Amino acid sequence: MSRQLASKWRKTALLMKYPVAAAHIPQTKVFNSGNLLHMLHHYGMVFIKPIVGGGGYGVIRVSRSGGVYRYTHTNISRSFNNFGQMYRSLLRVKARRKYLIQQGIHLATIHGRPVDYRVKVVKTEQGWVFRSLVGRWARPGLCVTNLSRGGTMLSGKRALALSLPHIANRYKRREMRSLTLTCTHIMESQLPGIGQLGFDYGLDHSGKIWILEVNTRPQ
C-alpha cells in the first residue's frame, strides 16, 4: 500500500521548507477572520479550501474590489458592502471542517474559463515514472477545474497552446516535469513509503508555474 497524507496543510508546510519548491507555492495560511482580511487586502482574491478533502468540493473563491467583498461557492456568488457581513455569511456556507486560505492565482484561461494541470507520477522498480500530464478546463460558471465537477480534460500540449499561445509549449511541459521530480524527491525524503503523487499546477498569464495542491491518492 502506498503511504497517504490527506492534510493539504501538512503537505504545503513540508514543501515550504525547501526554497526550490517554496518559490512556486502561493501564500497559504490557516483560515480565520484576521488572516482572511489581511490576505484579501494584500492579494485581492483568495481561495479557501478544506484542509482535508478533494474533488474541488468545498472550495470557495473570495475577493475584494472597490470596497465590495464577494464570494463564489459552486456557481452562486454573493456580494457585501463590508467584511463582517461577508465573513458571517461565509461561515454559514462553508462546511463544518478546518479550512486554509490560499493566495488567489489568476490562471490562464480558454474562452474566459480557467485551466490547470495534473501531473501524475508513480514509483516503480526503476524509480519514479510519469503517468500523465493533462490539462483540466473548468466548466462554464465554475472556478474549480476538477473533472468530478464537470471540468473537461485536455492534453497538456493542447491546454497550453490554447491558454498561453505566446509561450513555448514544449519548454513549459519540461519545466512542469522537472518541478514534479524535484518535489517528488522532497516528499519521498519526508514521507517514506509514498508510491504515487498527483501535482496540481496552475499557470498564470505570465506562464509562471504555481503548485496548487499535491495528492498522495490522485484519481
What pLDDT is recorded for position 147?
A: 77
> Which pairs count as long-range contacts for 175-183, CB under 8 Å and 24+ apart, including other chains?
175/209, 176/117, 176/119, 176/133, 176/201, 176/209, 177/119, 177/130, 177/133, 179/21, 179/24, 179/209, 179/211, 180/119, 180/121, 180/130, 181/121, 181/128, 182/20, 182/21, 183/15, 183/21, 183/211, 183/214
Average confidence (pLDDT) over 178-201: 94
Residue 1 has pLDDT above 70, yes or no: no
Average confidence (pLDDT) over 187-198: 92
Q: What is the DSSP secondary structure assignment for residue 62, as one 8-state letter? A: E
Residue 2 has pLDDT above 70, yes or no: no
Tens digit of each residue's pLDDT (9 = 90 or more) over 80-132: 999 999 999 999 988 788 999 999 999 999 999 999 999 999 999 999 999 99
What pLDDT is recorded for position 144?
A: 78
C-beta of residue 99 within 8 angstroms of C-beta of residue 50: yes
What pLDDT is recorded for position 7?
A: 86
Return the SS3 of 132. strand
At position 150, the amino acid (one-letter code) is G
CB atoms within 10 A of CB 156: 21
Closest to 47 measured CA to CA, from 110, 108, 94: 94
Tens digit of each residue's pLDDT (9 = 90 or more) over 130-180: 999 999 999 888 777 777 777 899 999 999 999 999 999 999 999 999 999
Tens digit of each residue's pLDDT (9 = 90 or more) over 9-43: 889 999 999 999 999 999 999 999 999 999 999 99
What pLDDT is recorded for position 5?
A: 81
What pLDDT is recorded for position 75?
A: 78
- Measured over the CA atoms of residue 154, residue 158, residue 159 and residue 163, the dihedral's sign is negative
CA gap 1, 8 in Å, rounded = 20
Global pTM reads 0.92
